[in-house]
């Protein structure tokens, strides 16, 4: 299918509609609790809005993680060592990746991303900042095992998965991804992964409902994207952004809530929402030291070192690929 021959991984129909987007939206709006996978936030508008979120005073994760990367350079160098191929899951953010690469003297940098455009931009940016560093971008869906370039086959790997993006997945999907990463990276690999921490629900809810309304715009853009790309007639002004802490699952949930009863069409199909009914658009799980250990171990990774920002809001964990052995 589309994944072959270096073609785009995005499957478009004859009208240019993203087939997977339409399938996910139609299925999700048909569920009892309406839900749409969070990955569909990130069209061009949504990606820009996320960048804007990271600059909001209430949204601490990006600043906290960047602080760790800035302040622990010598510890990274010591615990990771030189000569590794850094494999980043999702193409590099402008700030975090150079901080890591500058700390550890890597042998190569391999950004993986499903979007060829983001990938090429990130690769060009990094190649310019690190002139001697071989950069091998791979257009791939990292939720599946990826065949890494031949050039890095014999180099030990460091997986890099910042941002607490793992928190967007429910435990079962997160474990699948961690195991897939292990298969992609191989024996002897390490993983440096960002995981946001459980804290006061008021702080968390504010981080996902900033006063300037940028997160609200980010959430509502999903409904706008449905209208733009799938011939939707969702009345945007009848939807309200909601961010709420779910203590049982230790996660922030984002929803779009109907402020009155509405009916609309998407791709010719009709849907209704009662007043107060929601579309669940994102989970952002938060972790304790124990729950992060449990998740990593279940995914085949042994946590070796953990760093926190000075306010202890966010953690960056270095783990290595566990060699399975029998108990005890
Ligand atoms: C990019 C997935 C880490 O969950 O904090 C930010 C996305 N959503 N504000 C997060 C997001 C709302 C973000 N991640």
The answer to whether the CB of 100 is under 6 A from ligand 1 is: no
Q: For 238-259, how does the pLDDT look when each residue is reduced to its tens digit (9 = 90+)?
A: 999 999 999 999 999 999 999 9
- Collapsing DSSP to helix, strand or coil, 272 comes out as strand
Q: For 278-328, how does the pLDDT look when each residue is reduced to its tens digit (9 = 90+)?
A: 999 999 999 999 999 999 999 999 999 999 999 999 999 999 998 777 777
Residue 92's pLDDT is what? 66
Q: For 160-212, how does the pLDDT look when each residue is reduced to its tens digit (9 = 90+)?
A: 999 999 999 999 999 999 999 999 999 999 999 999 999 999 999 999 999 99
Residue 2's pLDDT is what? 41
* Closest-lying ligand 1 atom to the alpha carbon of residue 282: 8
Nearest CA to ligand 1 atom 8: 208
* Closest-lying ligand 1 atom to the alpha carbon of residue 163: 3
Nearest CA to ligand 1 atom 1: 165
- The mean pLDDT value for 32-59 works out to 95
Q: How far is the CA of 284 from the centre of ligand 1 (A)?
A: 7
Cβ–Cβ under 8 Å, residues 204 and 328 = no
Task: For helices 116-129 and 96-104, give the axis angle rounded to 10 degrees.
Answer: 40
Cβ–Cβ under 8 Å, residues 110 and 149 = yes
Residue 10's pLDDT is what? 83
pLDDT above 90: residue 118: no
The answer to whether the CB of 62 is under 6 A from ligand 1 is: no
């Amino acid at each position: 299918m589309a994944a072959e021959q270096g073609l785009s991984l995005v499957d478009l129909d004859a009208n240019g509609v993203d087939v997977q987007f339409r399938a996910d939206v139609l299925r999700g709006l048909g569920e009892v609790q309406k839900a749409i996978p969070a990955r569909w936030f990130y069209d061009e508008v949504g990606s820009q809005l996320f960048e804007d979120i990271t600059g909001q005073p209430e949204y601490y994760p990006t600043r906290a993680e960047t602080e760790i990367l800035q302040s622990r350079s010598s510890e990274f160098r010591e615990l990771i060592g030189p000569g590794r191929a850094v494999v980043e899951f999702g193409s590099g953010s402008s700030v975090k990746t150079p901080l890591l690469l500058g700390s550890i003297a890597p042998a190569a940098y391999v950004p993986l991303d499903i979007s060829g455009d983001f990938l090429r931009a990130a690769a060009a940016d990094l190649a310019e900042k690190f002139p001697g560093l071989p950069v091998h971008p791979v257009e791939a869906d990292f939720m599946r095992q990826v065949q890494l370039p031949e050039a890095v086959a014999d180099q030990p790997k460091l997986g890099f998965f910042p941002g607490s993006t793992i928190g967007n997945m429910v435990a079962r999907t997160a474990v699948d991804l961690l195991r897939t990463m292990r298969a992609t990276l191989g024996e002897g690999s390490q993983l440096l992964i960002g995981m946001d921490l459980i804290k006061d629900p008021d702080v968390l809810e504010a981080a996902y409902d900033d006063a300037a309304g940028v997160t609200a715009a980010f959430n509502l853009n999903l409904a706008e994207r449905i209208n733009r790309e799938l011939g939707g007639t969702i009345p945007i002004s009848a939807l309200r952004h909601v961010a709420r802490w779910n203590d049982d699952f230790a996660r922030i949930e984002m929803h779009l809530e109907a402020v009155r009863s509405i009916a609309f069409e998407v791709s010719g199909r009709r849907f209704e929402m009662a007043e107060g009914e929601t579309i669940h658009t994102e989970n952002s799980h938060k972790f304790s030291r124990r729950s992060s250990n449990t998740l990593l171990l279940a995914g085949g990774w042994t946590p070796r070192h953990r760093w926190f920002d000075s306010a202890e809001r966010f953690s960056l964990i270095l783990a290595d690929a566990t060699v399975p052995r029998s108990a005890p």
